[in-house]
Amino acid sequence: MTRIFTDGGEMGDTSFWDDATNVTCGTAAPAPFVSAYRYQLAAVVGSTFKSFTALSECYFRERVRVAALNTSQRFARFRTGVTAVAWLSLDATFHWQVSATTIGVLETSAVVMAIDTWYLVEIYFKEANAPDGRFVVYVDGNKVIDYTGDTQPAAATTFDNVNFEAGAGAGQQLYLDDLALNDTAGAVDKSYCGDGIVVKVEPDGNGTHNNWHGSDGNDVDNYLLCNEIPKDDDTTYVYHDNTAATQQQFAMSHLSFTGYTILRLYAEARARKTAATAMTLKLGQLAAGGADVVSAGRALYIGAYTRVVGDDSFVNPVDGNPWEEADIDAIEFVAQVT
């Protein structure tokens, strides 16, 4: 599998980012495109990035919106460390434009960006010397840039993070949602990420196993202690007592998927450990009539709650068919300590 990350801010916090300087996660003004949350990068100083294992080419997706237009905005800037490689921005008359360090402007679109409008942006970027470099940009399904040539600055051969920046003037906030990144390896997720929308279902009932403990002093209705969005850290929580393979499961809330196709699901949580004990957390799901399907153990850290994500699942393991609304209505979230 080659999906590097998927995120839409639906946990209501900024834990997804490796750095979130003046970045917040909100629900309104402006409202997200469809889902409950979106990210906001504050004007002048808003900057953030997400790291990954170094790549030489990728497919990237975002939903992006601005409150005002500025040539200093970076809608996706591929970097190696803090060194910029190539990026999508705007020219002086606010046309979409792609550029590369030491090379300059690669290509400028005839299409102009507008303020206060959600755009679906899909990018294919390949870092290479001419004639093999590529930078392709689709906006709302329409190809607006298709550059072939040199995209490899002399100082870089790969990139290991994608960075975003708001405008350099007052009122130039940048909004992001529905992020995804694919590499080009493997059998699936090796091309454009498509018009995806990230939505969440959350705990709203007891599951099959209720073996963890509640911060309220009992093990009853634990779902009430960890269904707040965003997280409230150690105000309410569930925990385990260092017993290997201890499970906690939750019934999940219901969403209408009318008009949508469910392409993947994954389990996500915020978790931490309180001592330097060798332990990991497995996340997954229990489909009705099936067995638990959980990820490999994910690292836990002492101190702050961090983002823990399970594996992507494309089909219901019970019948082998793509996930349907009825499957999601009956699914349980599974957390297991190892």
What distance in Å separates the CA atoms of residue 77 and residue 215, rounded to the nearest whole number?
42
Assess if residue 159 is contained within a domain.
Answer: yes
What distance in Å separates the CA atoms of residue 56 and residue 85, rounded to the nearest whole number?
11
Assess if residue 46 is contained within a domain.
Answer: yes
Helix H, strand E, coil C: the string for the chain is: CCEEEEECCCCCCCCCCCEEECEEEECCCCCCCCCCCEEEECCCCCEEEEEEEEECEEEEEEEEEECCCCCCCEEEEEEECCEEEEEEEECCCCEEEEEECCCEEEEEEEEECCCCCCEEEEEEEECCCCCCEEEEEEECCEEEEEEEECCCCCCCCCEEEEEEECCCCCCCCEEEEEEEEECCCCCCCCCCCCCCCCCCCCEEEEEEEECCEECCCCCCCHHHHCCCCCCCCCCCCEECCCCCCCEEEEEECCCCCCCCCCCCECCEEEECECCCCCCEEEEEEECCCCCEEECCCEECCECCCEEEECCCECECCCCCCECCHHHHHCCEEEEEEC
232 and 314 in a common domain: yes
275 and 221 in a common domain: yes
Residue where a domain stops, chosen among 120, 151, 182: 182
CA 204 to chain centre: 23
What pLDDT is recorded for position 1? 54
pTM assigned to the model: 0.95
175 and 31 in a common domain: yes
Handedness of CA 225, 327, 284, 318 (dihedral sign): positive
Assess if residue 93 is contained within a domain.
Answer: yes
What pLDDT is recorded for position 249? 97
132 and 84 in a common domain: yes
Residue 225's closest CA among 207, 203, 253? 203
Assess if residue 195 is contained within a domain.
Answer: no
Q: What are phi and psi of 329, to 5 degrees?
A: -60, -30
Q: What is the pLDDT along the chain (338 residues), one digit of tens a residue?
A: 589 999 999 999 999 999 988 999 999 999 999 999 999 999 988 999 999 999 999 999 999 999 999 999 999 999 999 999 999 999 999 999 999 999 999 999 999 999 999 999 999 999 999 999 999 999 999 999 999 999 999 888 999 999 999 998 889 999 999 999 999 998 899 999 999 999 999 999 999 999 999 999 999 999 999 999 999 999 999 999 876 778 999 999 999 999 999 999 999 999 999 999 888 999 999 999 999 999 999 999 998 999 999 999 999 999 999 999 999 999 999 999 98
264 and 119 in a common domain: no
CATH code at 19? 2.60.120.200
177 and 105 in a common domain: yes
77 and 126 in a common domain: yes
Residue where a domain stops, chosen among 182, 212, 231: 182
208 and 140 in a common domain: no
CA angle 46/52/55 to nearest 5° reads 115
Whole domain around residue 20: which residue ranges?
3-182
Assess if residue 299 is contained within a domain.
Answer: yes
What pLDDT is recorded for position 279? 87
Assess if residue 187 is contained within a domain.
Answer: no
What pLDDT is recorded for position 2? 86
207 and 325 in a common domain: yes
What distance in Å separates the CA atoms of residue 146 and residue 109, rounded to the nearest whole number?
9
317 and 287 in a common domain: yes
Residue where a domain stops, chosen among 151, 182, 213: 182
State how far the alpha carbon of 304 is from the alpha carbons of 234, 241, 273, 276, in Å: 10, 19, 9, 14
Residue carrying the six token digits 């269904």:
227
242 and 129 in a common domain: no
270 and 167 in a common domain: no
Longest pairwise C-alpha distance within the chain = 65
Assess if residue 167 is contained within a domain.
Answer: yes
**What's the structural domain count of the chain?**
2
Assess if residue 224 is contained within a domain.
Answer: yes
